[in-house]
Amino acid sequence: MAKVELTPLRSWDDFFPGSERFAKPDFKDLARWNNRVISNLLYYQTNYLVLAVAVFLIVGFMNPLGMFTAVAVVTAVFLGSLWAGDNKAAINNFKKQNPTTFVIVVMGVTVFMTAITLPLVLILIHASCRLRNMKNKLENKMELAGLKRSPMGLLLEALDQQEENLLKIQNFFEPFNLKE
């Protein structure tokens, strides 16, 4: 088995070449659309990582207090989720006694969630619309054959996103496809 390596950072011209290499995905052919997304996730994974970090940092610099508050709150919520489930009255009491603090906390979490979801939405849009090229297809075949391993490939494998599963999904949705 090949060792896991991060793919190289693709050039800006390759990552965002112009409108001729982008097309609206065919929503009626889910397997083809899913294949395009997976291929682009594998091929441009380093570019997507850089994009996600950049957007996260931009949102953080635009509202550093909100970002700091949100990171603290999300950490506290994660660590205190079991306690909060058993003590709903204490949380309601806090909201009533400290409404301003509660609103600031909620706004901070909103900033943090924006910093997380915005890169994911941008990545999904790019991966859905970016047409594949021959180099992209070749790299993906090497990944599927096990000659190359990448972090995104391992993640997609853990999420059970292989070609045979895509065919199962397409076959499941075929009866609902209303082609005229």
**Which residue did the predictor score with more confidence, 90 or 163?**
90
Q: Are 149 and 2 in contact (CB under 8 A)?
A: yes
Q: Are 76 and 68 in contact (CB under 8 A)?
A: no
Q: Are 10 and 127 in contact (CB under 8 A)?
A: no
pLDDT at 104 exceeding the cut of 70: yes
Q: Does residue 95 form part of some domain? A: yes
Residue 21 neighbours by CB under 8 Å, 6+ apart: 130, 131, 133
Domain of 102, in residue numbers: 28-158
Q: Does residue 83 form part of some domain? A: yes
Q: Does residue 90 form part of some domain? A: yes
Q: Does residue 18 form part of some domain? A: no
> Nearest-5° angle of CA 158, CA 44, CA 130?
110
Q: Does residue 170 form part of some domain? A: no
**What φ, ψ does residue 130 adopt, rounded to 5°?**
-75, 120
pLDDT at 180 exceeding the cut of 50: no
Give the predicted TM-score (pTM) of the model.
0.66
Mean pLDDT of 11-38: 82
Could you read off the pLDDT of 46-99 as tens digits, one per residue?
Answer: 999 999 899 888 888 888 887 787 778 777 766 766 566 666 777 778 778 888
Confidence of residue 164 (pLDDT cuts 50, 70, 90): low
Q: Does residue 10 form part of some domain? A: no
Confidence of residue 135 (pLDDT cuts 50, 70, 90): confident
Q: Does residue 20 form part of some domain? A: no
pLDDT of the residue at 137: 77
Cα torsion angle, 148, 51, 69, 91, sign:
negative
Q: Does residue 140 form part of some domain? A: yes
What is the distance between the alpha carbons of residues 166 and 37, in angstroms, rounded to a whole number? 12
When divided into structural domains, the chain yields a total of: 1
